[in-house]
Structure 1
Amino acid sequence: MTTVGEVTRAALRSRRSELYRLAGWSLAEALPAMLAGLLTARAVDDGFLAGRPVAGLLWLGLLALAVLVGAVGTNRTFALLGDVVEPFRDDLLHRVVTGALTGAAGGRGDDAAVARLTHQVEMVRDTYAGLLMVVRGFLFTAAAALVGLVSLAAPVALLVAVPMLVGLGLFVAALPAMIARQRQYVLADEELGRVAVTAVTGHRDVTVSGAQDRVTGWVGAHVDAQARVERRLATMAVTRGLTLAVGGWVPVPVVLLATPWLVRQGLGPGAVLGALVYVVSGVQPALHTLVQGVAAGGLRFAVTLDRLLRASVPARPATTAARVPLPTPGTTAPALSLRGVTFRYGPHADPVLDGFGLDVPVGDHLVIVGASGIGKSTLAGLVAGVLRPQAGTVHLGGVRVADATPAELAGRRVLIPQEAYVFTGTVRENLTYLRPDLPDETITRAATRLGLAGLLARLGGHDATLCPADLSAGERQQLALLRAWLSPASLVILDEATCHLDPATEARWEEAFADRPGTLVVIAHRISSALRARRVLLLDGHTALVDSHAGLLARSAAYRDLVGYGEPAQVRSSPTRGRSAPLPAAYARRSSP
């Protein structure tokens, strides 16, 4: 498992340049902490006590200038913080969403993923930022104060450093207990989220069965458990108080008690006052910020991030089968092959596909038809690798989809769903993100060939910025279709991707993709798509029939009903070149898309 330390170190290493700039401005921020006591001592001993008030004011003026420099440093450190923190948050979101989607596709729903995405990721982001600033502030401020003390009087630095280190030691010794209690709090919070989702989603059944009191008590018990864990966590404030007392406050009476000895060593009153300034304005605030920050934010960061990594990183599927190699040129592997595929939405749902098999040769034009909700889009998702079957295998050009990397899949198939995806960015970025190296000339030629030159001109050309909300559904679909045309994939899957276009435009697009080198699979929005196909796959809830349009008219009453024909007398002599694969009766009853 990837550990918290590994992930944190990797995140920091990836932002080295930003951290170097952060350190540079932190030095500027720490300048007042390093000079405060020394300049105060000079102002008192060499200025006011020496009868030279103007010199004393000049020393204090230098301190004011250092404070201004420190304020600029503080401003710049906060400005740089987002450059370090936000990429880390984006990585966590990717982990959580990928893990949740992978689990859902495999039939493993995870209600706690909502709590991780909406609460825990933001908690980690905030505590990561706070922890970074706290540790950075302590290191630079405490170091600056100790450097100032050494320059003022080395014995005073020793008197301050020893109790500070003792206080830090007490805090470090208490950290394991703090982490354990923080982990209990996170787990209790996650369990409460899971219970709440279960109770809310089942509220109708609860009401019908009259189990309101029982469910209320069940949820209330988890609320009480979380409250108990939070109270135990609050008791760790005693440890924090002891650390601050020893490390931050003990140096003050120690320096005061040592004042006669320090004066005998030649230290002036101003130097003693400067030493106290270092303790009160440097060491104390730095230690207080570190202890409070680590105790409050650092523990939440470590425990919550550990939980996210354990729960959200999808495990690599265990498989004993050897990875299918890429086919060599000249082989005749089908463009698409399904063998014994079974898929259901959830472990207790009826199967959408049960032992399903299909071969689509290279260069084929296959249209999939069937009643609404029969499983056409599910089949498209399985072919594209968006969904994973519970049994059986799916191959694209001889490559097993379950074993292929995202880059391999992107190079072999492109799926355009019913709701076309267009993002805020330039026209060029929208059309070429599947093939970033594509020159503008190729885009222009393709748009002209496909009848989209006018649309691109109306949008403002390749460098125009698109706003998805400003485009019609049909415009978004045509941009997505052009993107698919320009992609390197040899298999194109159109899942009702032309539903917002008129029939003539739809026919033009399907004919264009049929002429494009490669293989075309169309989830039909209109039955007219079947008239343009080489083969038609009919899903009718009991059998899966593959044949030509004329062949299905002769063989299948369900297909004739879809087309709107009556008895097939006019096509009774048509050849039947397909095959059928039996499906369970439950297949006709499922309600998932």
Structure 2
Amino acid sequence: MSDVIAGPPRGGRRGDSPARKDPKDLAQLESHPVSLRRIGGLFRPHAGRLAVVAGLIVAASAVGLAMPFLTRRVIDEAIPRQDVPLLMLLVAGMLAVTVVGSVLGVVQTWLSTTVGQRVMHGLRTDVFVHLQRQSLDFFTRTRGGEVQSRLTHDIGAMQSVVTTAATSVASNVTTAVGTAVAMAALSWRLSLLSLVVLPPAIWLTRRVALMRRAVTARRQRALADLHGQVEESLSVSGVLLGKTMGTGPVLSDRFRAGSEGLLDLEVRAELAGRWRMATMSVIFAAIPALIYLAAGLPATSGGMTIGTLVAFTALQAGLFRPLMGVLDVGVQVTSSLALFSRIFEYLDLPVDIADPAQPVELDPAEVRGTVRFEGVSLTYPGAGRPALDQVDLTVPAGTRLALVGATGAGKTTLASLVGRLRDPSAGRVSIDGVDVRDLRLSTLAEIVGLVPQETYLLHASVRENLRYARPDATDAEIEEAARAAQVHDLVTSLPDGYDTLVGARGHRFSGGEKQRLAVARTLLRDPRVLVLDEATSALDTRTERQVQAALDVVSRGRTTITVAHRLSTVRDADLIAVLDGGRVVELGDHETLAAAGGRYAALLAASEERRPEPALAA
């Protein structure tokens, strides 16, 4: 077998067996082949336990095969002869076989489940840690539901494959082989008859099973679509969008149509299941009937005893299900490999922003905070022009720099480079002369604090949301940061104070309140460099002045880089950099730039002409 499992050749015939497998699984394997050696590596640390599991499977199958032979002796010898000691011995043997088989099954399940859960735990943790290291660009182009699906559903399904499917395959193969040998030992004539009867019975059952699988797949897709509608339409944001857009009736009609389609598929799936059960019932009744007929005909009986007939029938009944399981191995293997492929695909994603191999040791407490951009350029993948183009800019320690410019000028992109949310395509960004790419990400996070434009709050208490920035922060430090961000009075006015639950994505707070909580959360870390990405853009005029006053206080002694949304907030900045087309076209303080009559003066005039109505507090 090749070391790499991929999809079938594109020129394969429609009648080939892979056509029965899920096309999505085959497409996944073709796009991201799976190495068997890599899968084996996951289980190598558990080789000892797996060997024990394999031994238990063989032992359980062998013990189970003793039952028909004990039954034959009971019927042919013990009962007709009224041999009570032999009967007691055989009955005790039957009970012992049952008890031993059950105990072996429990131990096997415990071992296989433990191994499977440990492997899945390792994979789940590795994927989570690896995704944490991915850049913002990955999460921008990837649906959040896709990430969650692979972390939870796919790995959960893989656990089922490892603990159930794998042991089931081994058990089915062992049982089928052992049963066939035992049947031949009991009666080779009836074994030959089984070879004639079993193939059409198996073919018919598989046909019904494939039909049911197709209906079930469609039902699962319909359920997924319905789940997606519920998630999108009945979330806080979805309900708000529906109410403001007046799309409630349209969404209701769409949900009703999806539910009706699911109703039809549910009925068809149930009928398909009933057809399968009916088919198997007919087969289970027909095969023993044919065996009894053969045993009763002089030409085929060969002097068969009643005990042999009963024992053979019991073995025959136990052969059908293992054979079906063995025939489904191909589908199970393809499904399991597709799941491994989806997980490995994420683990194989390159890390764009990673810790350096030999990091520079820099004590955050001794950082002065001089930030320098040297020949910085950045082009987003697929973009026609660079977002930043040869930017040279120095921000002395303790300086308040404001970045202004029209939408798309590159302000947020430039600010994001300081905390390594992205890396430049060319040039370097340094803090106190050290390239930020030479610092550990954890060290850089202690040095640079970022308040983004869009605030994200956890579904937890206010205290937990603030302590997220510094898990060891005391209650006094949390309250001090909240006061600095002008949000302490608001929090204490809530029914439970700092223990008040924020709610899903912080929807119980207004935009300005969430913004101030985000400022407090960042200030709790006391960074030497503070990056404010339009941190006051969601605030009304009065609250903006309060927060701006607080920011003026906390920015003293630290380097502050502000992406300005309103030019009124940057008049007191030490430096104002005007960006246009990814370049710094002007640099100076407010008075100098306003008097120069250049780009900044034009932006200032345009903002005064608009004269927007004051925003109201939410």
Residue 446 (structure 1) shift: 2.7
Q: Structure 2: which amino acid aligns with 1:503?
A: T
Where do 5+ consecutive residues of structure 2 fail to align? 1-31, 187-306, 608-618
Q: Aligned partners of 1:34 and 1:466: how far apart in 2?
A: 60
Output the aligned Cα RMSD. Answer: 5.7
Deviates more, 1:387-396 or 1:323-332: 323-332
Q: Structure 1: which amino acid aligns with 2:338? A: R
**Is residue 333 of structure 2 the alignment partner of residue 313 of structure 1?**
no
Q: What corresponds to 2:552 in structure 1?
A: 514
AA at the equivalent of 1:293 = Q
Tell me whether 71-80 or 367-376 shows the greater mean CA deviation. Answer: 71-80
Matched, 1:390 2:425: yes
User: Hey, what does 1:42 align to over in structure 2?
Assistant: 70
Equivalent-residue separation in structure 2 for 1:86 and 1:114 (angstroms):
21
1:550 aligns with 2:557: no
- Distance in 2 (CA, whole Å) between partners of 1:447 and 1:104 is 30
2:535 maps to a residue whose letter is A
Give the SS at the match of 2:390. Answer: strand
SS in 2 for 1:369: strand
Q: Is the 8 A contact 2:364 2:446 kept in 1?
A: no
Paired AA for residue 558 in structure 2: G
Q: Give me the whole-angstrom Cα distance separating, in 2, the residues matched to 1:329 and 1:65.
A: 66
- TM-score normalised to structure 1 length: 0.58
- Does the residue aligned with 2:403 lie in a helix, a strand or coil? strand
- Residues 574-589 of structure 1 aligned to structure 2 (within 5 Å): none
Equivalences for residues 417-566 of structure 1 within 5 A: 417-457=452-492, 458=494, 460-467=496-503, 468=505, 469-516=507-554, 517-540=557-580, 543-564=584-605
Deviation at 1:493, TM superposition (A): 0.9
Tell me how far apart the structure 2 counterparts of residues 502 and 10 of structure 1 sit (CA, whole Å): 58
**Quick one: which amino acid aligns to residue 37 of structure 1?**
L
Amino acid at match of 2:351: P
Contact kept in structure 2, 1:35 and 1:63, CA below 8 Å: yes
Q: Deviations over 1:126-178 (max 9, x none)?
A: 4564244322334567679999999x99x99xxxxxxxxxxxxxxxxxxxxxx
Structure 1 Cα separation of the partners of residues 451 and 60 of structure 2: 60
How big is the shift at 1:501? 1.7
Amino acid at match of 1:446: A
Distance 1:318 1:391, change over 3 A: farther
For residues 471 and 129 of structure 1, do their structure 2 counterparts lie closer, same or farther at Cα, with a shift above 3 Å needed? farther
Structure 1 residues 62-73: aligned runs within 5 Å = none
Q: Which residue number in structure 2 is paired with residue 162 of structure 1?
A: none
What is residue 189 of structure 1 aligned with on the other side? none
Cross-structure match for 1:133: 164
- Which residue of 2 is the match for residue 207 of structure 1? none
Q: 2:360 aligns with which of 320, 325, 329?
A: 325
Q: Which amino acid aligns with 2:534?
A: E
Question: How far did 1:374 drift?
Answer: 1.9
SS in structure 2 at match of 1:493:
strand
Matched, 1:411 2:446: yes
Tell me the equivalent position of 1:169: none
CA distance in 2, matches of 1:410, 1:12: 36
Report percent identity of matched pairs: 24
Structure 1 residue 390: Cα displacement: 1.6
Closer, same or farther in 2 for the Cα pair 1:62/1:336, shift >3 Å?
A: same
Q: Which amino acid aligns with 1:373?
A: G
Deviations 1:367-423 (A, max 9, x none): 222223322112112222122222111113333223433322212212221110112
Cα pair 1:36 1:278 within 8 Å, conserved: no
The answer to whether the 8 A contact 1:434-1:487 is kept is yes
Distance across 2 between alignment mates of 1:450 and 1:306:
44
Aligned residue in 2 for 1:375: 410
CA distance in 1, matches of 2:365, 2:340: 54
How far off its partner does 1:498 sit?
1.8
Distance 1:148 1:526, change over 3 A: same
Work out the CA distance in 1 between the residues paired with 2:443 and 2:320.
59
What's the CA shift for 1:341?
A: 0.7
Q: How many residues align?
A: 449
For the 8 Å contact 2:172–2:323, the answer to whether it is kept is no
Listed as ranges, the matches of 1:50-449 within 5 Å are 50-51=78-79, 85=120, 88=123, 91-92=126-127, 95=130, 101=136, 126=157, 129-139=160-170, 269=308, 273=312, 276=315, 280=319, 284=323, 287-288=326-327, 290=329, 292-294=331-333, 296-301=334-339, 310=348, 312-314=349-351, 325-327=360-362, 334-346=369-381, 349-449=384-484
How many Å separate the matches in 1 of 2:60 and 2:588?
A: 83
Provide the rounded CA distance (Å) in 2 between the counterparts of 1:424 and 1:115: 18
CA change 1:275–1:375 in 2 (3 A) is: same
Q: Is the 8 A contact 1:416 1:481 kept in 2?
A: yes
The 1-side partners of 2:520 and 2:571 are apart by 23
- Give the Cα separation in 2 of the matches to 1:147 and 1:40: 12
What is the rounded CA distance, in whole Å, between the counterparts of 1:2 and 1:61 in structure 2? 48
Moved more, 411-420 or 48-57: 48-57
Per-residue deviation, residues 184-235 of structure 1 (Å, max 9, x unmatched) = xxxxxxxxxxxxxxxxxxxxxxxxxxxxxxxxxxxxxxxxxxxxxxxxxxxx
CA distance in 1, matches of 2:35, 2:502: 39
| Separation in 2, partners of 1:120, 1:392 | 36
Q: 1:413 touches 1:492 (CA, 8 Å); kept in 2?
A: yes
1:50 offset after TM fit, Å?
Answer: 1.6
1:95 touches 1:313 (CA, 8 Å); kept in 2? Answer: no
Separation in 1, partners of 2:416, 2:600: 23
What secondary structure does 2:536 align onto? coil
The 8 Å contact of residues 33 and 278 in structure 1, kept in 2 or not, is answered as no
CA change 1:444–1:98 in 2 (3 A) is closer
Deviations, residues 105-132 of structure 1 (Å, cap 9, x unaligned): 9xxxx89x99996998876874564244
Contact 1:34 1:145 in 2 (8 A): no
CA separation of 1:463/1:30 partners in 2, compared to 1, >3 Å: closer, same or farther?
farther
Q: Which residue of 1 aligns with 2:611?
A: none
Any idea what SS the aligned residue of 2:78 has?
A: coil
Question: How far did 1:338 drift?
Answer: 0.4
**Structure 2 Cα separation of the partners of residues 355 and 349 of structure 1:** 16
Q: What are the Cα deviations for residues 301-341 of structure 1, in whole angstroms up to 9, with x where unaligned?
A: 5655565555x23368899xx96734579988653110001
Residues in 2 aligned to 1:379 and 1:330: alpha-carbon distance in whole angstroms: 25
Partner of 1:263: none
The 1:5–1:433 alpha-carbon spacing in structure 2 relative to 1, beyond 3 Å, is farther
